[in-house]
Amino acid sequence: MAMSERPLGVLGFSFNKGQPRGGTEQGPRVLRNAGILDALERVGNAVVDHSNVELPNPPDEGRDNIAKNCRAVGTANKKLSEEVSRYLKKGERLLVLGGDHSLGIGSIHGHAQAQPDVVIVWVDAHADLNTPMSSSSGNMHGMPLSFLIRELVEFMPQTPGLDWCKPCLSAKDVVYIGLRDVDPAERLFIEKLGITSFSMQEVDKFGIREVVEKALKAVDPSGKRPIHVSFDVDVMDPAHASATGTPVPGGLSLRESFYLAEEIAATGRLAVLDIAEVNPLLSNADGQKTTVANAVDVTAKFYGSKRQGDVPRDYVIPRPQA
């Protein structure tokens, strides 16, 4: 079955312990309330809502580690990984509604167990590539890729709660789009490991059309591998997504975000999409509404394959009465 014809499973990951602010745990609820399931059905997907991942009680955190809440982040993501892997093996595509971006650990790990040839398109203002040693904040939503990339293994400390997570990607399986706030260690890793990266400066220079084309070519020249998009809403300009924990000025316009999503949809190879870092407790009422609405609209573009517009299956062009 063509990828785009498979059922689309939706999995909520109601979690906030990868960063310090309450609210990201409400992401799945506000996105569902805003009609994300209907929006996906309207563009022709057979949607199956698997509800939220049932998270184990947060374990006691020791004071012995530098990655904050690592036991909670680890156990929750282990559960997420198992669920993602299970539904993919059943033949579904998956949409993961976060939750903070530490969810990348479980979502990508689970994806790689089911489809080892997966490629990652990380769409974010930040690289989320710090190790527990290099992070200045200790917040794990800035670290997910460091736990997943094989070439970084020598830089990774033993992290309680994450012993189950064996790196499953090489650096060449990852491409970044939208970066504009990158820490020193992240910059060095990107350079030394040769991770393909398109910052906002490159989006300005080449335009979003060329960036998306180059990004997909770089990560999968054959154009055959399953795609995992991890979309942090902070990649969008704060004008379009202010209800998020770490907004950075100068991001993707709404139209650029749509275009990226439409081009990914057009590949027919999107297997998993993460929508991370919607935080309905931040920003003002207007900002909250706009952020959630834009997150829903961008998500629908990732799954609406017909770029010329979607015609309901039962639509009949009206004619004048004879």
Residue 204 assigned to a binding site:
no
Report the residue number, 99 or 304, with the smaller CB distance to Mn ion: 99
Report the residue number, 37 or 203, with the smaller CB distance to Mn ion: 203
The only residue of 100, 124, 186, 274 in contact with Mn ion, by rule CB under 5 A: 124
Q: What is the sign of the dihedral through the CA atoms of 111, 138, 175 and 262?
A: positive
Q: Shortest CA distance to 280 belongs to which of 73, 108, 32?
A: 32
Residue 107 contacts residue 84 (beta carbons within 8 Å): yes
Report the residue number, 83 or 232, with the smaller CB distance to Mn ion: 232
Among positions 293-322, residues that touch Mn ion (CB under 5 A) are none
Residue 128 lies near Mn ion (rule: CB under 5 A): yes
Residue 124 assigned to a binding site:
yes
The rounded distance, in Å, linking the Cα atoms of 160 and 157 is 9
Residue 268, C-beta contacts closer than 8 angstroms, at least 6 positions apart: 2, 3, 4, 305
Among the listed ranges 95-103, 188-196, 247-255, 291-299, the one in contact with Mn ion (CB under 5 A) is: 95-103
Among the listed ranges 20-28, 96-104, 164-172, 195-203, the one in contact with Mn ion (CB under 5 A) is: 96-104
Report the residue number, 101 or 301, with the smaller CB distance to Mn ion: 101
**Tokens found for residue 197:** 């990266």
Residue 232 lies near Mn ion (rule: CB under 5 A): yes
Report the residue number, 78 or 101, with the smaller CB distance to Mn ion: 101
Among the listed ranges 87-95, 117-125, 185-193, 237-245, the one in contact with Mn ion (CB under 5 A) is: 117-125
Residue 232 assigned to a binding site:
yes
Map residues 21-40 to x or -, x wherever contact with Mn ion holds by CB under 5 A: --------------------
CB atoms inside a 10 Å sphere around CB 24: 30
Report the residue number, 37 or 292, with the smaller CB distance to Mn ion: 292
Among positions 259-278, residues that touch Mn ion (CB under 5 A) are none
Residue 239 contacts residue 18 (beta carbons within 8 Å): no
Residue 100 lies near Mn ion (rule: CB under 5 A): no
Alpha helices, DSSP H only, in the chain? 27-33, 36-42, 70-89, 103-114, 184-193, 200-219, 254-267, 285-302
Site size for Mn ion (CB under 5 A): 4
Angle (CA) 71 74 76, round 5°: 105
- Angle formed by the axes of helices 285-302 and 254-267, to 10°? 20
Residue 126 assigned to a binding site:
yes
CA 146 vs CA 10, 13, 73, 251: distances in Å: 26, 20, 14, 24
The rounded distance, in Å, linking the Cα atoms of 241 and 95 is 19
The only residue of 71, 78, 101, 301 in contact with Mn ion, by rule CB under 5 A: 101
Among the listed ranges 75-83, 105-113, 127-135, 213-221, the one in contact with Mn ion (CB under 5 A) is: 127-135
Residue 128 assigned to a binding site:
yes
Prior bond to 161 cis, omega within 30? no
Report the residue number, 279 or 305, with the smaller CB distance to Mn ion: 279
Residue 180 lies near Mn ion (rule: CB under 5 A): no
Residue 190 contacts residue 182 (beta carbons within 8 Å): yes
* Residues at the site binding Mn ion, with contacts judged by CB under 5 A: 101, 124, 128, 232
Question: Which residue ranges are tagged as binding site?
Answer: 101, 124, 126, 128, 232, 234
Question: Which residue ranges are tagged as binding site for Mn(2+)?
Answer: 101, 124, 126, 128, 232, 234
